[in-house]
Structure 1
């Protein structure tokens, strides 16, 4: 089992160059590191939005995509996404794929804390049923018709996290039905996601 309390640091070319404790990596000069975002949909095509726990260091209480996380040293990013969906929401997807493999962002909170991530985006599909959120990660959740959530987030009617705002501006290029989105299968991911993120490799 990888050490999920550490995150993998990256250089500007997207190579793993070290690791740091997750509890210490986010600050006023956060180094570039690997992460992921996941958008969960049910069989009706509804999207699962979550509100971040008020105890989170970054963007507490903000509505966002279904799940976020960091691959640990030695962990494949697809495995990390599966792990976090189970840990945060009690969900096991029946299908998952990468929809925005090249997403990267840097943003700063009002208090100066920085997020700085290479953060590919996944879509995951689950059978009908309600999640079982971990309250230390998720304060609330809500199901939306995807076009409604997308359009309300883009118009500013619904305030969402800065990374979700940027991601939605790219996902708008896909069709309204998430089942039709082009996805990279987790068994055939492009470099560097086709191997575990080995620090110093």
Structure 2
């Protein structure tokens, strides 16, 4: 049985949205919508190690959660859906920034995204994280200094977009 392709919103030159299969936006480097989430507990940020089986950037560390909305799915609904699917958690989220970036993510794939960034807070002592092993290999909480030191020492251990976020938007990585 073949999986039904996921259709996500790509962005035309005039700013209008049109539906495209998710893998096609990455193989063709099409500009598209995305969501990135940053969950904090005081001076700690929740990060995740992507499952090694992911179609790109498997086994690399990323922000708390990131994804693409399905066609016609509201962005905030998408953010909550994906937190639940990937990490098994639900927290209140606030939209923070809308940014654009472009990056080679390996294996002939390219991200060119208009990203709505959300932040949320949680108590790491009581938050019960139940990651889907097909999505997430590991989670941990890091401080700003730990994160930036690790990125400087082993940049290849972090997804291209997370390295971009840490450099360009330090307010979201603390």
TM-score range, shorter chain: 0.7 to 0.9
| Residues 92-137 of structure 1: per-residue CA shift (max 9 Å, x gap) | 11x3112222x11111134321112111211112243231001111
- Counterpart in 1 of 2:104? 108
Q: Alpha-carbon deviation of 1:60? A: 0.9
Gaps of 5+ in 2: none
So what's the TM-score if we normalise by structure 1?
A: 0.74
Deviating beyond 6 angstroms after TM superposition, the runs of 4 or more aligned structure 1 residues are: none
Secondary structure in 1 aligned to 2:78?
helix
Partners of 1:124 and 1:115 in 2: how far apart? Answer: 24
Secondary structure in 2 aligned to 1:109?
strand
Partners of 1:161 and 1:5 in 2: how far apart? Answer: 22
Q: CA RMSD in A?
A: 2.4
So what's the TM-score if we normalise by structure 2?
A: 0.84
Q: Alpha-carbon deviation of 1:154? A: 4.9
Select the structure that is richer in strand: 2
Gaps of 5+ in 1: 179-201
Partners of 1:163 and 1:14 in 2: how far apart? Answer: 22
Number of residues of Structure 1 aligned to a counterpart in Structure 2? 168
Secondary structure in 2 aligned to 1:48?
strand
The question of whether the paired residues in 2 share the 8 Å contact of 1:4 and 1:71 is answered with no
**Alpha carbons of structure 1 residues 5 and 109: separation in structure 2 relative to 1, 3 Å:** closer
The question of whether the paired residues in 1 share the 8 Å contact of 2:56 and 2:107 is answered with no
